[in-house]
Amino acid sequence: MSNTTGKAAIVTGGSRGIGRAIVLALAEAGYHVAFSYASNQAAALEVENAAKAFGVDCLAIQANAADVKEAQDLIEQTHKKFGRIDALVNNAGITRDGLLMRMSDEDWAKVLDTNLSGAFYTCRAASRIMLKQRAGAIVNISSVVGVFGNAGQANYAASKAGLIGFTKSIAKEFGSRGVTANVVAPGFIATDMTESVPKDKLIEHIPLARLGEPEDIAKTVLFLITSGGYITGQVIHVDGGLVF
């Protein structure tokens, strides 16, 4: 039985972790969803099928977030299939950690290209559709590291801090056309990105004394998309109280 709202959303980096949770939350809420993935086709197909089980359509598209043409194609394919784009979630991100004095040009550029330029490419393409619709919601996934920094992650912190300034700027540009733009800044979430870090060391800094779950982020993203019509230009911390 179909549960569709007729609305459509795009999620970058949707085959695992936080991205997967966001795709499924949107599908459960009745959104048709397209999502990009880097290389794991099996994982992407699993998410696609899980989303379709909610009675909506779902489209997995292999795309490199740092490639401007592939980012534009992601937007165009989604618009062609669903006829509209109501929400864009930029979740795709990578890390290439290392101390600054040892960081290679490639590791700096790769992280900035994927995490920041990728969001620029998709937002630019999707905004043309959303502004014409006079409606839409953009949510960019940053990080607490983009707010307070972290030794050994100068590239990652710069990319995530850049997302915050970028989002605040486009919120001012798009607001008069009914398009919102917000940031969700996760803290330490139980995904493969935190798998190698000792949990006790992380938890001692978190007032709620636990790691977050991908679904904690997905619920916040879903709220901004479905109920956050008068919220724009904001940074929502979902971090168990790590940052005040």
Q: Which residue has the tokens 């998410």?
A: 47
Q: Is 156 a catalytic residue?
A: yes
Is residue 208 helix, strand or coil?
coil
The 3-class secondary structure across 50-78, one letter per residue, is: HHHCCCCCEEEEECCCCCHHHHHHHHHHH
Please write down the long-range contacts of 46-49, taking CB distance under 8 Å and 24 or more positions apart: 47/14, 47/15, 47/16, 47/20, 47/23
Q: Which candidate in 31, 37, 121, 156 is catalytic?
A: 156
- H/E segment holding residue 46: helix 41-52
* Beta carbons within 8 Å of 50's beta carbon, 6+ residues apart: 24, 27
CA angle 53, 86, 141 (to 5 degrees): 85
How many Å separate Cα 11 from the centre of its chain? 6
Which amino acid, 234? Q
Is residue 180 helix, strand or coil?
strand
The 3-class secondary structure across 215-239, one letter per residue, is: HHHHHHHHHHHHHCCCCCCCEEEEC
- H/E segment holding residue 186: strand 179-186
Strands 235-238 and 32-37: unpaired
- Catalytic positions: 156
